[in-house]
Structure 1
Amino acid sequence: MAVLLSGQYSLPVSREVVYAALNDPDVLRECIPGCEELEVRSDGIFAAVVRLELGPLKTRFRGKVRLEDLDPPNSYRISGEGDGGIAGFAKGGAALKLVPDDEGGTLLSYEAEANINGKIAQLGQRLITSTSKKIADRFFESLTNRLQPNPRTAESQ
């Protein structure tokens, strides 16, 4: 089953800051919902263990993601795959673009496609798409919160 997702988020900081955060394993580990482990291997691949709940299915996915077509701080592509054991397998990619907005922040947009099989695919396209969108929204909400300028820092200067 193929799942298509796209989204757009406004972040309160420059493209350079957003791009750096999206390549920082500590930031990603903190912002990815259900992330239990995340490391950057010597070959540049991000390896992760993420606990997911998709409807009645709860599973741990072990996955690998590679960043490709790097154009800092404008864009890159993500390709990867994840194995959820008996729950199923997913493989896909996403294109991510960062554009400055009129207020000094960044407009982030993405388009993603994943191919899913196994028990997860039996849950149905609508449930998988809505759950995936919620996970993406939670990730970008966490990222936005992490990147918010700290008002106390500005006051203390």
Structure 2
Amino acid sequence: VGVGMIRARFAARVGLTDLDPPHSLKLSGSGNSPMGSATGSAKVRFVELDNGHTRLEYVYDAAVSGKVAAVGGRMLQSASKVIIGQIFTRLAQRLTGAPVRTGLWQRLLGLFGKGGTQ
């Protein structure tokens, strides 16, 4: 994960609690690195719409400490929104069976038969 000039690899733990299938769940996680630590949780709801689709709603809370937190609130807030958006985009893709899009590098490797997904 990178925020500004600070880059760190976090050892993360993620878990699901408060399961109420197929309506809601709580997603919680924490991560540690030499650059700091992070914790977060999200209450996720699946709302059935009249057109047969399901809307994924979530409310999250996150906290960071250490050098990562020293980068500045605005930068950190923007980075966390991007990461959280990626998490829920991937979750929605998995739930709908839509293809999971990967980064440019993984797609190029996939084209050359070196792994990755297209």
Structure-2-length-normalised TM-score: 0.71
Residues 144, 72 of structure 1: alpha-carbon distance in 2 compared, 3 angstrom cutoff: closer
Matched, 1:74 2:26: no
Is the Cα–Cα contact under 8 Å of residues 56 and 92 in structure 2 kept in the other structure?
no
In 2, Cα distance between the equivalents of 1:144 and 1:77? 15
Matched, 1:94 2:37: no
Residues 142, 76 of structure 1: alpha-carbon distance in 2 compared, 3 angstrom cutoff: closer
Residues 101, 127 of structure 1: alpha-carbon distance in 2 compared, 3 angstrom cutoff: same
Residues 77, 60 of structure 1: alpha-carbon distance in 2 compared, 3 angstrom cutoff: same
**Superposed CA RMSD:** 2.0
In 2, Cα distance between the equivalents of 1:132 and 1:89? 13
Residues 80, 149 of structure 1: alpha-carbon distance in 2 compared, 3 angstrom cutoff: closer
- The structure carrying a bigger strand percent of its residues is 1
Q: Aligned to 2:10, what secondary structure does the other structure show?
A: strand
Runs of 5+ consecutive residues of structure 2 not aligned to the other structure = 100-118
Residue by residue over 1:66-114, the C-alpha shift from the partner in whole angstroms, topping out at 9 and shown as x without a partner, is 21110011111122211022x1011221111110122211111111112
Structure-1-length-normalised TM-score: 0.55
Q: Aligned to 2:13, what secondary structure does the other structure show?
A: strand
Q: Paired residues, what number?
A: 98
In 2, Cα distance between the equivalents of 1:107 and 1:88? 34
Q: Aligned to 2:44, what secondary structure does the other structure show?
A: strand
Return the structure number with greater relative CO, CA threshold 8 A, min gap 6: 1
Which letter does structure 1 place at the counterpart of 2:27?
Answer: I
How much identity, in percent, do the aligned residues show?
38
Q: Aligned to 2:17, what secondary structure does the other structure show?
A: strand
- Where does structure 1 differ by over 6 angstroms across 4 or more consecutive aligned residues? none
Q: Aligned to 2:59, what secondary structure does the other structure show?
A: strand
Runs of 5+ consecutive residues of structure 1 not aligned to the other structure = 1-51, 151-157
Q: Aligned to 2:50, what secondary structure does the other structure show?
A: coil
